Amino acid sequence: MAHLPCYNLRKEAISYLDQQKINFQDAQTFFPNTAALSEIDLSDDARNFDNFDGRKTFVFYSNVFNVDDKTNDLLENNKAYRSTKHFEKSGVFITIYKKVTSN
């Protein structure tokens, strides 16, 4: 039951992506969030995220996803990504990360 806040947070995070005009093709995530929105939200929205491989600009991450320690460290403790938006409720969170580019 602890994961239940994730669904509303997920909707908020997707709304944020839409408001910021961040294309789903520019973002990646982790299982099970790679399924089409229509399958998770029971909607007509067929968009989906690619599975994370580090090649896209944005990462949609939640602490309810089963992410290995190496990937978790890459996102949270590395200078390769920075948090652009964080949503949290009852210990569950979703963070939108953006890849840091060096110029």
CA distances from 32 to 10, 17, 46 (A): 12, 18, 15
Percentage above 70 pLDDT, the chain:
95
> Which range among 3-12, 26-35, 44-53 shows the weakest confidence by mean pLDDT?
3-12
Maximum separation of any 2 CA atoms in the chain, in Å: 44
Give me 99's structure tokens: 């890849």
> With contact defined as beta carbons under 8 Å apart, do 72 and 49 qualify?
no
Residue position matching structure tokens 């239940």: 4
Neighbour tally for 7: CB within 10 Å: 13
